[in-house]
C-alpha cells in the first residue's frame, strides 16, 4: 500500500464512521433512546421497558462483535477494553461520577448530542463544559490527579479482561469460538429478556434495541476491518487508521467530545487531523437534526432558571471527568464495552448505575427542600 492509498482509505473510513454515527443519532432521536431515562423509569415507576431496550442493544452488539471475531473480520484482542490490567477503582469511581452527572445534566453524552441536533441550547453548553472537563482529565491537571490516584489501584489478568478469554485460557479452548458461544449465551439471553416484556414489543423499541445494537457492531467493522492496515507504508507496522487510541474503536462520546474541541480550536495546526471520534460526534448531531426536522420536533430550548443552569454545569463536569476516568460513557462502556464482554466495562456500568441512583436521590432531596 502506498501513502496515497492510505489517505484514500482514511477518507473512506471517516465517511463510513460518519454515516454510522448519523444512523445512531437518527435512531436515538426517533426512539428517545436514553439510558438515564431507562434508569429513571425503574427507580420512580418500577417500569423496565426502556431498560429492556438497552439490554437488547447490548445483546445485539455483543453477538455482532463476537461473530465478526469468529469469522476473522476483526481481532477482538485489539480494543482498549481487552487490556489485561483491570483499573477497577477508576471504572467504579469514574462510572459513579458519570452516572451522577448525567442525571443532573438531563442525559448522557449521546443524549446531549442528540438534543443539540433537536435544538437544545442548554445541551450545547453541556457539550462544551463536558468536553473541557474531559480534556483536562485526559491530558490536563486532572489527568495528573487521575493517574496518581485511582488509576494506581488495579490488578492484572494475563488472559485479558474479556470473560471469554478467561474461559478459553482456563479450559484450553479456542478464544474466538469461546467468545462466540458466550456471546450467543449472554447476548441471546438479553435479547430474549427484552422480547418477553409485554410492553416492549413495538416498532420504536425494536428499532432502538436492534438498530442501535447493529450500529455499534457496524462501527466495530468500520474501525476494525475496513480501517485495518496490516503494514503501514512508512512504519511497516499494523495500524487502525483514523483512530485516537491506535486500536479499533466503536462508538463512545466523552473523550471524542474533547478531541472535537481540540480539533476545532487548533484547526490550523496540521498535526490535528480528523479521527473517528470527531466525525462520530458530528454525525450523531446531524442524524438527530435530520430526524427532528422530519418529525417537526425541532425546538429551541434554553435553561429554565439559575439553578437549572448550575445543575447542568455540575453534571457536565462530572460526566467529563467521570467518562474519561471510567474509559467510557453509557455508550462507550455500556454498549461498545459490554459488547466485548470486558470485566472493566461491567464494573464501569455498575458504577454508572449506582451514580445515577445517587443523582436521582439528590434531585429528590432538592425537591423536598423546596
CA dihedral 60, 64, 70, 73 (to 10 degrees): -170
Output the pLDDT for position 173.
86
User: Is 1's pLDDT higher than 80?
Assistant: no
Counting Cβ atoms within 10 Å, is residue 199 exposed (0-12), middle (13-18) or buried (19+)? exposed
Alpha carbons 250 and 234: distance in angstroms, whole number:
26
- pLDDT, tens only, 196-224: 988 898 999 999 999 999 999 999 999 99
Q: What is the pLDDT of residue 11?
A: 95
pTM over 0.75: yes
pLDDT (average), residues 332-350: 95
At residue 4 the predicted structure's pLDDT band, cuts being 50, 70 and 90, is confident
Query: Got the DSSP string for 199-220?
Result: TT-SHHHHIIIIIHHHHHHHHH
Please state the length of the chain: 370
- pLDDT tens across 84-133, in order? 889 999 999 999 999 999 999 999 999 999 999 999 999 999 999 999 99
| N-term to C-term CA, the chain | 66
Q: 261 with 239: CB under 8 angstroms?
A: no
Confidence of residue 170 (pLDDT cuts 50, 70, 90): confident
For residue 66, give the nearest of 245, 240, 220 by alpha carbon.
Answer: 220
Q: What is the pLDDT of residue 198?
A: 85
pLDDT digits (tens, 9 = 90+) for 21-77: 999 999 999 999 999 999 999 998 999 999 999 999 999 999 999 999 999 999 999
Look-up: residue for cell 466523552? 254
What's the CA gap between 39 and 360, in Å, rounded? 9
pLDDT of 270 over the 80 cut = yes
Of 126, 296, 334, 99, the closest CA to residue 212 belongs to 334
* Tally of CB atoms within 10 A around 120: 24
Average pLDDT, the chain: 94
The contacts of residue 9 (CB under 8 Å, 6+ apart) are 1, 226, 227, 229, 241
Rounded Cα distance, 50 and 33, in Å: 8
What is the spatial distance between Cα 333 and Cα 84, in angstroms, rounded to a whole number? 16
Residue 166: pLDDT band with limits 50, 70, 90? confident
Q: What is the dihedral of CA 314, 280, 323, 366, to 10 degrees?
A: 30
Q: To the nearest whole percent, how much of the chain has pLDDT over 90?
A: 84
Spatial separation of the C-alpha atoms in residues 238 and 285, rounded to whole Å: 32
Q: For 149-177, what is the mean pLDDT?
A: 87
The C-alpha R_g of the chain, in whole angstroms, comes to 20
Q: Which of 154, 178, 127 is nearest to 317 (CA)?
A: 127
What per-residue confidence (pLDDT) applies to 368?
87
**Helices 49-71/175-195 angle, 10° precision:** 160
Amino acid at each position: 500500500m502506498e501513502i496515497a492509498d492510505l489517505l484514500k482509505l482514511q477518507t473512506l473510513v471517516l465517511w463510513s464512521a460518519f454515516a454510522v454515527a448519523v444512523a445512531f443519532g437518527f435512531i436515538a432521536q426517533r426512539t428517545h433512546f436514553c439510558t438515564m431515562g431507562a434508569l429513571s423509569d425503574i427507580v420512580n415507576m418500577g417500569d423496565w421497558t426502556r431498560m429492556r431496550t438497552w439490554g437488547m442493544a447490548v445483546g445485539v452488539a455483543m453477538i455482532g462483535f463476537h461473530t465478526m471475531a469468529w469469522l476473522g473480520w476483526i481481532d477482538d484482542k485489539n480494543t482498549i477494553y481487552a487490556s489485561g490490567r483491570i483499573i477497577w477503582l477508576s471504572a467504579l469511581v469514574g462510572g459513579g461520577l458519570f452516572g451522577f452527572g448525567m442525571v443532573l445534566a438531563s442525559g448522557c453524552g449521546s443524549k446531549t448530542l442528540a438534543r443539540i441536533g433537536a435544538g437544545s441550547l442548554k445541551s450545547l453548553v453541556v457539550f462544551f463544559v463536558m468536553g473541557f472537563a474531559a480534556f483536562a482529565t485526559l491530558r490536563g491537571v486532572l489527568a495528573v490527579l487521575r493517574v496518581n490516584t485511582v488509576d494506581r489501584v488495579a490488578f492484572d489478568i494475563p488472559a485479558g479482561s474479556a470473560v471469554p478469554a478467561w474461559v478459553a485460557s482456563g479450559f484450553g479452548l479456542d478464544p474466538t469460538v469461546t467468545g462466540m458461544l458466550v456471546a450467543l449465551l449472554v447476548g441471546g439471553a438479553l435479547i430474549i429478556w427484552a422480547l418477553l416484556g409485554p410492553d416492549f414489543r413495538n416498532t420504536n423499541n425494536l428499532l432502538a434495541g436492534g438498530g442501535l445494537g447493529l450500529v455499534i457492531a457496524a462501527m466495530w467493522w468500520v474501525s476494525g476491518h475496513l480501517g485495518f492496515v496490516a503494514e503501514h507504508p512508512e512504519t511497516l507496522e499494523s495500524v487502525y487508521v483514523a483512530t485516537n487510541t491506535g486500536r479499533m474503536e466503536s462508538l463512545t462520546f466523552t473523550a471524542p467530545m474533547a478531541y472535537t474541541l481540540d480539533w476545532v480550536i487548533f484547526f490550523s495546526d496540521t498535526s490535528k487531523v480528523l479521527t473517528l471520534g470527531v466525525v462520530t460526534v458530528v454525525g450523531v448531531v446531524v442524524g438527530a437534526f435530520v430526524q427532528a426536522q422530519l418529525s417537526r420536533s425541532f425546538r429551541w430550548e434554553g435553561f429554565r432558571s439559575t439553578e437549572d443552569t448550575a445543575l447542568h454545569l455540575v453534571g457536565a463536569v462530572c460526566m467529563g471527568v467521570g467518562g474519561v476516568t471510567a474509559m467510557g460513557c453509557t455508550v462507550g462502556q455500556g454498549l461498545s464495552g459490554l459488547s466485548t464482554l470486558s470485566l472493566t466495562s461491567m464494573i464501569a456500568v455498575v458504577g454508572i448505575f449506582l451514580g445515577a441512583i445517587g443523582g436521582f436521590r439528590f434531585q429528590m432531596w432538592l425537591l423536598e427542600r423546596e
